[in-house]
Amino acid sequence: MRMSKYYAPTLKEVPNDAEIKSHELLIRGGFIRKTASGVYTYLPLGNKVLKKIERIVREEMENIESQEILMPIIQPAEIWQESGRWDDYGPEMMKLKDRHNRDFTLGPTHEEMITTIVKNELRSYKQLPISLFQIANKYRDEIRPRFGVLRAREFIMKDAYSFHDSEESLDETYKAFYKAYEKILERLGVDYLVVEADTGAIGGSDSHEFQVKAEYGESTIYYCDCGYSATDEKAVSNVIFEESNETEQEMKKVDTPDVKTIEDVANFLNVDKTKIVKSLLFKGREGWVLALIRGDYELNTSKLKAYFGDQTLSMGEPEEIKNEFGVEIGFIGPVGIKNVKIVADYSIKNMKNFVVGGMEKDKHYVNVNINRDFKIDVYTDIRMVSKGEPCPKCGKPLKEIKGIEVGQVFKLGTKYSEKLHAYYTAEDGKQKPFIMGCYGWGVSRTLGAIVEQLHDDYGIIWPRNIAPFELVIIPVSMKQKELSDKAEELYKLLKGKYDVLYDDRDASPGFKFKDADLIGIPLKIILGKKMKEGKVEVKLRYERNSEEVDITEGFEELLKIIEKKLNEYDPKIYVKSIDKE
């Protein structure tokens, strides 16, 4: 491709709304342009990378014999009403009406759709297992879209769904997808981690996320050298909450004027946070839930939702709480509260003589004790872990790292097949609901994740397999005929072998080098001063010094060196090395 005719508008300025490097570089490099909040156009460079990512994903799906289909983006409301998610999914679901006033959604995911498609047509256990995938747009109306293509409202996903007649069969396919995803990440050429994950709004039992490591990743991951790793939403640890040997004191209600936060309470009453129990009210499908946790810990909402199997569960609004319980949010506590289910984290199980809200403005109870002063409905783990806590597998301190999720696999079980009445005839002749799995890969988000990991001060450093161009030919001047002629000759020779960009613009060498680095092309072939001696310069994206290659005798040597350098090229090793500097 000739750069003079290529639509790749690069920018010097950092866009206003770019909070992270990948967003900035994809805009500045001319890969994407924003059309509306969270809605992007992929310019030729961006589209090229996208299509290369798509191809790798598609090939790995075909390698595990998943069959490609294409489902509609606009989905009728009825199937979502049947599964119960029309109301449950919340405001992230974009909805519209057609001219006949029928309700549709712009599909945020396709479990309902695929289940509806195969039901009545996938009939016998003999046809199982089977998996179907598609690569298509998805829509989630994020309240605050950000980070460019990493958290967009319109995005491209590969989603796959599998159907089984046994847990063992699901397990086998789940593992095949797991391996295919690792293969994709290896072909993409990035550093990654596979972690245990929460199943969220999709539901089901097991789930794993595939995370691209990145300094400013959205996900926090806890991991251990022993192999344990999980997202913060899912991570557990082996912290032991020791039995207290205090004797129970008399409970008292004390004045705590304007003392609302845990910090305030600790300071005002001069007690440690570990002597306070935090009380948080949530509202879900089945009413109010009071969650209790030790004052120095953070509540893990994902674990709470997972425990109740209720994704609609959300923190009560202050106004609503006041109306319902007659007391401000800062003074809520388990003593005397009514019409709530009380769920407690294990961290409070052995506490004695602790502080809780007084269920009255400006009051707290001190010397509170479980069972004597209030009852707990259930204990479970609803706590966020922290780095340094003991690994649940081996006990060594957990480490923390940031990542960007690009893939997630789920064991759905019969959640959707039961709700949507999708049955097959089993070997014993009985009608049984399909056991299902689902497997998502964020295609457009992969673009952002890779740039977030692989860049330096000058721009993007694309891995060879997905670089928009593998190499760029740069004559330092188009006015010197001997340079442009040779460049032209080289371009014609190389474009059959590689994905080549020929920077034939009438611009300064510095300008061209900067663009090549910003865009992130793996290899530069520079035709400059050394051409007088019959030499071109060859340089990998991250190399400081170029290698001179004599072309007076022809291009054979040059071709060898190009191939050698491109084979050696590994941006993730380079990026790790600059991280350590």
Interface residues with its own copies (CB under 8 A)?
4-7, 9, 33, 35-36, 39-44, 46-48, 50-51, 65, 67-76, 91-92, 94-96, 98-99, 102, 104, 106, 113, 116-118, 121-122, 126-127, 130, 132, 134, 137, 139, 141, 143, 153-154
CB of 183 to its own copies, least distance (A): 21
Compute the distance between CA of residue 48 and CA of residue 50 in angstroms, rounded to an integer.
Answer: 5
Sign of the C-alpha dihedral, residues 516, 517, 521, 522? Answer: positive
**Which of residues 154 and 517 has its CB atom nearest to its own copies in the complex?**
154
CB of 189 to its own copies, least distance (A): 23
395 burial type by CB count under 10 A (0-12 exposed, 13-18 middle, 19+ buried): exposed
**Which of residues 134 and 302 has its CB atom nearest to its own copies in the complex?**
134
**Which of residues 66 and 231 has its CB atom nearest to its own copies in the complex?**
66
**Which of residues 120 and 205 has its CB atom nearest to its own copies in the complex?**
120
Asked if residue 207 lies in contact with residue 410, where contact means CB atoms within 8 angstroms, the answer is yes
Asked if residue 539 lies in contact with residue 526, where contact means CB atoms within 8 angstroms, the answer is yes
CB of 37 to its own copies, least distance (A): 8
**Which of residues 421 and 560 has its CB atom nearest to its own copies in the complex?**
421
Q: What is the DSSP string of 151-165?
A: B-SEEEEEEEEEEES
CB of 424 to its own copies, least distance (A): 13
**Which of residues 117 and 561 has its CB atom nearest to its own copies in the complex?**
117
Which residue in the block uniquely carries the two structure tokens 């709480």? 321
**Which of residues 154 and 503 has its CB atom nearest to its own copies in the complex?**
154
Asked if residue 163 lies in contact with residue 130, where contact means CB atoms within 8 angstroms, the answer is yes
**Which of residues 11 and 578 has its CB atom nearest to its own copies in the complex?**
11
State the DSSP H helix or E strand holding residue 305, giving kind and residue range, or none if neither. Answer: helix 301-308
Q: Which residue, 440, 420, 424, 406, is CA-closest to 169?
A: 424
Q: Angle formed by the axes of helices 44-63 and 443-453, to 10°?
A: 110
State the DSSP H helix or E strand holding residue 580, giving kind and residue range, or none if neither. Answer: helix 571-580
**Which of residues 96 and 573 has its CB atom nearest to its own copies in the complex?**
96
CB of 444 to its own copies, least distance (A): 9
CB of 485 to its own copies, least distance (A): 21
Residue 254: half-sphere exposure toward Cβ, Cα within 13 Å: 15
Residue 454: half-sphere exposure toward Cβ, Cα within 13 Å: 32
* Distance linking the first and last C-alpha atoms of the chain: 36
**Which of residues 153 and 187 has its CB atom nearest to its own copies in the complex?**
153
The residues, any chain, with a CB within 8 Å of residue 452's CB and separated by 6 or more, are 20, 21, 22, 150, 212, 214, 215, 216, 217, 404
Q: Which residue, 8, 37, 10, 43, is CA-closest to 24?
A: 10
- The DSSP 8-state label assigned to residue 374 in this structure reads B
CB of 28 to its own copies, least distance (A): 12
State the DSSP H helix or E strand holding residue 404, giving kind and residue range, or none if neither. Answer: strand 399-413
Bridge-partner residues for 287, per DSSP? 284
Tell me the backbone φ, ψ of residue 133, rounded to 5 degrees: -135, 165
**Which of residues 115 and 219 has its CB atom nearest to its own copies in the complex?**
115
Token pair of 521, please?
A: 């092309």
CB of 129 to its own copies, least distance (A): 9
Pairing of strands 378-380, 340-345: parallel
**Which of residues 40 and 222 has its CB atom nearest to its own copies in the complex?**
40
Compute the distance between CA of residue 447 and CA of residue 485 in angstroms, rounded to an integer.
Answer: 35
Tell me the backbone φ, ψ of residue 561, rounded to 5 degrees: -70, -40
Q: How far is CA 111 from CA 40, 74, 153, 254, in A?
A: 25, 14, 19, 53
CB of 188 to its own copies, least distance (A): 19
**Which of residues 34 and 260 has its CB atom nearest to its own copies in the complex?**
34
Strand, coil or helix: 112: helix
